[in-house]
Each structure stands twice: as structure tokens, then as C-alpha cells.
Chain A
Amino acid sequence: SPTSPAPIPHLSCPNPPPLLPQSPTSPACGAARVLPFHASRPTALPTPRTACFQSPHGHLCAHACARKPVATQELLQFKEKLDLVLSRAFCANEQFSHSLKEAFEQFINIKQNRPAELVAAFLDSKLRVGNKGSSEEELEEILDKTMTIFRYIDGKDMFEAFYKKGLSKRLLLGKSASVDAEKSMISKLKAECGSGFTSKLEGMFKDVELSRDVMASFRDSPQAQQISPDVELSVHVLTQGYWPTYPPVEVRLPQEILELQEIFSSYYMSKHSGRRLQWYPSLGHCQLKAAFPKGKKELAVSLMQTMVLLLFNSADGMGFNEILQGTGIDEKELKVVMQSLACGKVRVLRKEPKGRDVADEDQFFFDDEFKHQLFRIKINSIQMRETEQENEQTTERVFQDRQYQIDAAIVRIMKARKALSHTLLLSELFTQLKFPLKAQDLKKRIESLIDREYLERDPAQAAGYRYLA
């Protein structure tokens, strides 16, 4: 088969669709030039065909992906164009289609883990309230198209971890645009990857539904009668294991909130004595009724923000350190909270000295001049955001989890086979484990297991291992 990109005979197709805006300096021009192709020569395809899809545009796109979720939109459009080119210019030729798939898979996974994170973020932005202008059908179409990209992602466990984080926030903060769209997405994932993949996600939905029932019975319970009528409590009870892992946070909750927790706990434990409840303050949010001189307001705030604001019930002004002491919130986190209350668009507190950054010496005051056109004001958008740190933690956790899976697989295989050559062990692992693997990573785990005396190098065969009972 010819290997050089020889001049290709012109196609009878009059208007080949352009791959990209044709600018003389754009490296993608090279791809557009290959387009005209003789339809009657389907078997003798020149080998550079994979190159024309893979690079330079493929690499160009991969770099764009690293920046923000918007790029996933670009990716979807790019994929559509490729499919169009395939069907129109290359008559959906099977060989070409196959190499297109390979090339696409390769380029999507160049920056490992980022595609998973970005596609999950893209879906989150579409499934969240405030997603402007997509009708039900449009949304459905977007979800379907996203699935075509999802198929190429190596390491779907990484996607699951990020998707779960987004879903968790949408469910707990009531930010899902449409329950139907959410469920539709889950069924698409289930159809693609099997029920094992989506069982935890489905569990999350169940927990939310069950919590509604729990709250209904709670409100009728004797324990609930102890709650003052101007306080409304709502609790989501989450089954650990379905939901993302949240680090436990130690804070000094106000007395009022501790009492509410006690009341609910005693009710819940009376119904489920074998269970253990752990509270997660970082996931809590509140509607605070605030009496400003210029008008009463209802503020939608996070629990952390609430803790800070309640302190101002007993003092008009406080220093940062005082607030730090009073709430027990981690210093870095507290600075973000204070910024959200005193330095953003909506400022319920006044900071002195003025400025965007919060310093230890800053003083905060209840803003008695506060006014806003709306009665209900949302100030808890910080909760919906994923920080860079959170994303790193999520990625780390998936890597850790993969390590455990690799270790477990090695031990399982070696226990069954007793002795196995290095090559065979590795090939078994590549078959059994469903995420991207490098031989080096596997070797490191093998060495760790040798160190922990699960295995030894087999004295009877070069480059082999033996299980140690």
C-alpha cells in the first residue's frame, strides 16, 4: 500500500465540508487539503489517513481541552464534522471509519484524566439550573452527542468520580434543572457501561427520595414538636458508599443548630438503631431571615456562611480572628467565606479596610445600609463551585482506588495460579482491569507486594513470581 501522501485524485463531490476555518496560517489547513478523494478506490487508502485526523488539529484541540469546559462543546462540533467528512467525502468507508475511531481515541486520551473531568463538568453545566436556552429536546440531543465522546474516554472510573461530585451538589443544593434529564443521562450511561457503573448514581437518587419520606414522618414525630415553629429543618440522609467522599470537618456549630441535629438524630436512631449518623457541615445550606433596617430579606447561604452571620446577632462588628475563634472554621476556608459575604456582588457585611483580599487584621461589620431589589437573595454560589483543590483530591482518590484494585487483582491472580511468569501476570492484569494502565505502574505494585511479602520472585523461573501463603 502506498505510504507517501501522493497527490490524490479529485473527488466528484463538489462541496467538501471544511474541517475548520480556512486560514493560511492555520495548521489545520493540511487536513482540509487531503479531503478530495476518489470514491472508486476504497481499498487502496493511503496510510497517512490517520495522521490527517490526528494531528496537528487533534493535538491543537487537546490543548484547548485543558483549559475549560467550553472546549467540550468545540469537541462535539469537531466530532460532528469528522463524521460528516467520513460519510460525505469518504463514503463512510469502513477502514477509514475504523482508523478515525482509533485516531480519535488516541487524541482524546492524550491528556490523561482531563477529558473525563471536562466531559463531566460539561454535563454538569448542562444539567444544572441556569442553563440558558436548551429545550428538553435540545438537551436530550446534547446528552446523546456527549455520549459519543464519552465512549472514547479511557478510564471511565475517573469520569464517574467527577460526575458523582457534580450530581451530589445538584441533588443536595436543589440545583438540578430537570429530574427527567438527570434520569435520562443515567440510563444512557447504564446502556453504555452496564448497571455496575450506574448503581451508585442510582443509589444517590434513591437516598434523596427516601430522605423526603423520612422528613415527612419526622415532621409528625414527637421529637419534631420540640422545634420552634419559626425554624424549618430539612435533612438529607445519605448512604455512605453511594456518595462522593467528603473529608470530615470540625467546626463549632452554633447552639441552635446543634440542638436541631440532636433532635433529628434521636428521631432517626429511634427508627434505625443499628446505624450511625455523621453530619457534614460543608454540605449544609440555609435560608436566613435577615432584618435589615432598609428591608427584611431572606438570604440563601451555606451553613458556613450562616455560622458567621449568626455571630453578628450578638455584636455589630468583629475582627477576623474573633470570627475564626467563634466558628472554628479552617482559616483558608474562612477567608473564602468572608470574601463571599463582604467582597462579592452582594455584601451583607462591610469589611474594613476595603479590598478583595481578607487579611487577619480585617474587621467586619453588619451592614445596616444593606439594600437589594430582591427579597430572596442567593449568596451561596460558592458551594456549587468545584475548587481546583477539590478536583485534585478527586483525581487523587481515583488513582488511590486504582492502586487498591491493582493490588487486589495481583493477589487474586497469584493466589489462584501459585506461580506465574511476569509477562503472563501483566497480560492477565491488562485484561482484568478496566482503566488505563502502564506496565511501570503494575511493576511498582508488584514490588510493593514483594516488599509486603505477598509474593516473591520465583527462584524456579527467571522473571516470574510465586505466591506466598
Chain B
Amino acid sequence: MRALSRKLSGGVKGDSSKKAATTPPPFVTLFDTLAPAESDQVLGPDAVERLCTDMQVEPDNVLLLVLAWVLDASKMGYFTREEWESGIQQLGSAGTPHALRQQLETVHAQTLRDIERLRGLHKFAHKFCREERRKNIDVQSAQVMLKMTIGPLFSEHVSNLVRFMGEKEQLAKAGVSLDEWTMMLQFCREIDSTCSNFQDDGAWPVLLDDFVEWQRSQVE
């Protein structure tokens, strides 16, 4: 059924008297490949899972986050056609899951080397995890996302932060705010592994003051 509709769209292509139809970029066509027959406008969790299988990555792979970020997806596990098409510029030539994976890996590598882009990805991760009308993200999401976004670059700080967040009771209730989240990245970049250059009375969020205190107590 789907193969037929694709052929049909291909057929329309040549008919210049009707529309000035140009070949859609391979990336857009990929959407059609993935989309379930019933609703052409959204890729849901099943379709996304199939994409992962096709790309040969686990669903919790960072590349999915990168994809969501490039597309500025609003809801985890879903990509609308509109969102998908906004990614044409960066991912336009990826017509197959395999090609898409390669493109995403390139984008990811670039992001890790460029602080502005990394900030963007990191900030997006917070937005992506926020439940409706809540300003903060829960601890579990924070732990997963932190490892994903900046884990590769700051493994020691990240593993400590992840442990700390799990132990801090108040966090379970309040969640992690956007300010605390963005400052975690700054912290990882500026502060050395023993926190020796951390200023106790600086402008760091109180959460990070507590983190440093916690870390120092762990050492003892």
C-alpha cells in the first residue's frame, strides 16, 4: 500500500502542467517511510522505535536527543511532519536510517566541540524533559540527561553530580530548575575535579554549593 502511494507521488513529479513539484529531499521521504499508514502527520513512539532499530541504536542513545534538538521537537517520543521538515537544512540528505545515523553522529561530534552548540543541546534537554506546566525536571530525568549531554566531556563531575542528585532528598520533591541545570554545565567547565577553585561565596546556585560540600565530605 505504501509502496504504491510512493510510486504515485513519484508519478506526479513529472507532470509539469499540474504542480511545479520538485523532488522532496531524501530526509522528508524518510518521514513517509517511517510514518504509519493511519496518520501521516506524526511519527509516534512505535515509529520512533522502529527508526532506532533501523539505525541500530538503543532508544536511549544520545543521537535521539540530538535529533529531537535539531528538530526542536516539543514532545518526547513524537515527531510531527512540520518538526521533521524543519530539519532539512542540517539533515536533508539523509534518506535512510543508516545515513541519518551518520549525519546525527556528525552533528553530535560538532556539538561537543562547540560550546555554544553544547549549551543549546544541554538547555534543550531540560525543556524536553519538562512535564506540562512544571518548571523543573525530576531527578531521574536530570540524571539520564546529564550523562547524555555532557557526560562524554566531563565524566568525573557528571558521575558525582548524578550520585549527589540521587542522595539529595529535597531535590526529589523540588526537581532541578533550568538555572541549576545550565549552571551545572558551567560548573563542569570551570571547576577542577577536586573543586579546589570553587568559591563558596560565589554566585553559584545553592544546589552546587551543597554539591561541593557533599563532595568534600565524601572525600573525608
* Residue ranges of A at the interface with B (Cβ–Cβ < 8 Å): 422, 439-440, 443-444, 447, 450-451, 457, 463-465
Q: Is the CB of B203 within 8 A of A440?
A: no
The answer, yes or no, to whether B220 is at the interface (CB within 8 Å) is no
**Residues of the B chain whose Cβ atoms lie less than 8 Å from the Cβ of A464:** 203
Q: Which of B135, B178, B206 contacts A443 (CB 8 A)?
A: B206
Residues in chain A near residue B209, CB distance under 8 A: 440, 443
Determine whether the beta carbon of B206 is less than 8 Å from that of A463.
Answer: no
- Bound together, the chains give a CA A465 to CA B203 distance in angstroms of 9
Cα distance, A37 to B180, chains bound together (Å): 56
The CA of A451 and the CA of B206, in the complex, are separated in Å by: 14
A440-B206, A440-B209, A465-B203 known, 17 other contacts, Cβ within 8 Å = A422-B202, A422-B203, A439-B201, A443-B206, A443-B209, A447-B177, A447-B179, A447-B180, A447-B206, A450-B179, A451-B177, A451-B178, A451-B179, A457-B203, A463-B202, A463-B203, A464-B203
State in angstroms the CA–CA spacing of A439 and B203 once bound together: 10
Chain B residues at the A interface, C-beta cutoff of 8 Å: 135, 177-180, 183, 201-203, 205-206, 209
Q: Tell me how far the C-beta of B177 lies from the nearest C-beta in chain A, rounded to whole angstroms.
A: 6
The majority secondary structure among interface residues of chain A is helix
Q: Smallest Cβ distance from B206 to chain A, in angstroms?
A: 5
Interface centre among B135, B201, B203, by most chain A C-beta atoms within 10 angstroms, is: B203
Q: With CB as the reference atom, state the residue of chain B lying closest to A441.
A: B206
Give Cα A464–Cα B204 distance, bound, in whole angstroms.
10
- CB pair B203–A444 under 8 Å, yes or no, is no
For residue B180, which residues in chain A have a CB less than 8 angstroms away from its CB? 447
Summed over the interface, the residue pairs from A and B with CB atoms below 8 Å come to a total of 27
Q: Name the CB-closest residue of B to A452.
A: B135
B205 touches A447 (CB 8 A): yes
Q: Nearest residue in A to B178 (C-beta to C-beta)?
A: A451
Least Cβ–Cβ distance between B63 and chain A, in angstroms: 30
Can you give 12 A-B contacts (C-beta < 8 A)? A422-B202, A440-B206, A440-B209, A443-B203, A444-B206, A447-B180, A451-B135, A451-B178, A457-B183, A457-B203, A463-B202, A465-B203
Nearest 7 A-B pairs (CB), nearest first?
Answer: A422-B203, A463-B203, A450-B179, A443-B206, A447-B205, A444-B206, A451-B177
Interface centre among A447, A450, A463, A464 (most CB of B within 10 A): A447
- Whether A443 lies near B177 (C-beta < 8 A) is no
Q: Closest B residue to A421 by CB, please name it.
A: B203
Question: In the complex the two chains form, what is the Cα distance from A422 to B206 in whole Å?
Answer: 13
Q: In the complex, which residue of chain A has the Cβ closest to the Cβ of B179?
A: A450
- Distance in angstroms between the alpha carbons of A151 and B19 in the assembled complex: 87
Shortest Cβ distance from A422 into B: residue: B203
- Assembly CA distance A464 to B203 (angstroms): 7
- List, in ascending order, chain B residues with CB within 8 A of A465's CB: 203
CB-based nearest A residue for B135: A451
State the CA gap A450–B178 with chains docked (Å).
Answer: 10
CA distance A465 to B201 in the complex (A): 15
Q: Bound state CA distance, A440 and B203, in angstroms?
A: 10
Whether A443 pairs with B179 at a CB distance below 8 angstroms is no
Q: Inside 8 A of B205's CB, which chain A residues have their CB? A: 443, 447
Q: Which residues of A contact B177 (CB under 8 A)?
A: 447, 451
CA distance A465 to B183 in the complex (A): 14
In angstroms, Cα B202 to Cα A465, docked, is 12
In the assembled complex, the Cα of A443 lies from the Cα of B201 at a distance in Å of 10
Q: B16 to chain A: closest CB distance in Å?
A: 51
- Across the interface, name the chain B residue whose C-beta is closest to A464: B203
Contact partners of A440 in chain B: CB under 8 A: 206, 209
